[in-house]
Amino acid sequence: MTMNEDGHSPANGRRNPATDKGEELAEEGPSLDPRVQEQLGRVFRSFCDDLVHQPIPDKLAVLLARLEAKQRGKE
């Protein structure tokens, strides 16, 4: 999940429209044109996907191995 069509995370999918609507209007301000939102969602999602799939530098794996070895030494 990045941004859905409506920009809400699935984790927040269980909403009570009766109580949420007023709060949303009061706090969320004007919403984007749905077409702009759709466009932004698409570009942003692909940005996030690319970022998450970047290769992890070796030094981070090495650091983790070192932390683990130290832990084992203590035990």
Residue 18 Cβ, how far from other proteins at the closest point, in Å?
16
Alpha-carbon distance of 45 to 63, in angstroms, equals 30
Alpha-carbon distance of 53 to 69, in angstroms, equals 27
Alpha-carbon distance of 30 to 12, in angstroms, equals 20
Give me the residues that bind other proteins (CB under 8 A), please.
1-3, 7-9, 11-12, 23-24, 27-40, 42-48, 50-57, 59-61, 63-65, 67-68, 71
Residue 58 Cβ, how far from other proteins at the closest point, in Å?
11
Residue 40 Cβ, how far from other proteins at the closest point, in Å?
5
Alpha-carbon distance of 25 to 43, in angstroms, equals 26
